[in-house]
């Protein structure tokens, strides 16, 4: 596929996303420079990779890579499906959950459950985006919406774990750690809830309430806030990370 049309809203959004993620990556590297505590370094490393992976994904989409067209069984062609966006999410969203899990003091089984649910949510969303409706008794639109529903099912269970298991663990930490966790958890819940809404009203959900340009802008704003915004809130709270790291050290001993 070719790059987005020069000067289009789509291209501008992808360019801003690339620049924003790259600047966020550099900022997180600078914020973590000189940090010697190994447990605190985990937060800086994970958060830097989140923005770094996203910047590469956005640059690939800006250049016209990571995008395909899909011809539906009814003859309709969806010209631009950005599968690179799903590849980005498949790597970065588990890392976001890992940040939250480390902050809350979650064990491996809890982290594995969160990552598994997240992977299921992203993969089924990608299947929905690429579904053509061929060989199905459902129409192409209904097929895509059915996969969207399955993806949302994984998301609902993931939300349950965030507000129950992970929140209960965070409540056992110091007041500052619990407060920071609540802020980041609520940010994730609000932003991640917006993603399937944008999907279903956009071109990939076939409703086409908003066009590809607006859809790309909305996903870009959500991505920047969920990755770079999340990262700044987390990494600027050095005193809280000290407390979380100290608690993790005690638990390990």
Does residue 251 surpass a pLDDT of 60?
Answer: no
Tell me what pLDDT residue 131 has: 85
The answer as to whether 251 is a domain residue is: no
Query: What residues make up the domain containing 181?
Result: 9-245
* pLDDT tens track for 17-46: 999 999 999 999 999 998 888 889 999 999
pLDDT of residue 2: 73
Q: Is 3 contained in some domain? A: no
Assess if residue 252 is contained within a domain. Answer: no
Look-up: residue for tokens 């600027």? 236
Q: How far apart are CA 150 and CA 136, in angstroms?
A: 16
On the question of pLDDT at 253 being above 50, the answer is no
Q: What is the C-alpha separation between 70 and 33, in angstroms, rounded? A: 44
The tens digit of pLDDT for each residue in 185-215 reads: 999 999 999 999 999 999 887 788 999 999 9
pLDDT (average), residues 121-144: 84
CA atoms within 13 A on the CB side of 24: 31
> What integer pLDDT is reported at residue 238 of this predicted model?
83
- Write the CATH number for 53: 1.20.1070.10
Domain count, the chain: 1
Name the residue among 112, 61, 115, 117 with its Cα closest to residue 87.
61
Task: Indicate whether 1 belongs to any domain.
Answer: no
| Residue pair 154/172 in contact by the 8 Å Cβ criterion | no
User: What's residue 4's pLDDT?
Assistant: 83
The pLDDT score that the predictor gives to residue 188 is 97
Identify whether 202 is part of a domain.
yes
On the CB side of 118, how many CA atoms lie within 13 Å of its CA? Answer: 24
pLDDT in tens, 65-110: 988 888 876 767 777 889 999 999 999 999 999 999 999 999 999 9
- The predicted model scores a pTM of 0.93
């Amino acid at each position: 596929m070719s790059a987005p049309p020069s000067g289009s809203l789509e291209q501008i959004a992808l360019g801003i996303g690339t620049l924003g993620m790259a600047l966020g990556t550099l900022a997180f590297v600078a914020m973590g420079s000189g940090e010697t505590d190994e447990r605190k370094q985990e937060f800086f490393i994970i958060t830097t990779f989140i923005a770094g992976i996203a910047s590469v994904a956005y640059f690939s989409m800006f250049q016209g890579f990571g995008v395909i067209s899909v011809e539906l069984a009814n003859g309709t062609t969806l010209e631009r499906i950005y599968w690179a966006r799903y590849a980005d999410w498949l790597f970065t969203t588990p890392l976001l959950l890992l940040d939250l899990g480390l902050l809350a003091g979650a064990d491996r089984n809890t982290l594995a459950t969160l990552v598994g649910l997240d992977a299921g949510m992203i993969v089924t969303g990608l299947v929905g985006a690429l579904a053509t409706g061929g060989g199905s008794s459902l129409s192409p639109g209904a097929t895509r919406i059915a996969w969207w529903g399955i993806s949302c099912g994984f998301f609902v269970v993931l939300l349950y774990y965030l507000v129950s298991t992970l929140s209960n663990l965070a409540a056992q930490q110091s007041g500052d750690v619990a407060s920071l966790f609540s802020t980041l958890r609520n940010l994730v819940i609000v932003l991640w809830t917006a993603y399937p809404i944008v999907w279903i009203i956009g071109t990939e959900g076939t409703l086409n309430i908003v066009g590809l340009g607006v859809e790309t802008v909305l996903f870009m704003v959500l991505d920047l806030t969920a990755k770079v915004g999340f990262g700044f809130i987390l990494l600027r709270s050095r005193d809280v990370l000290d407390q979380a790291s100290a608690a993790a050290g005690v638990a390990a001993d």
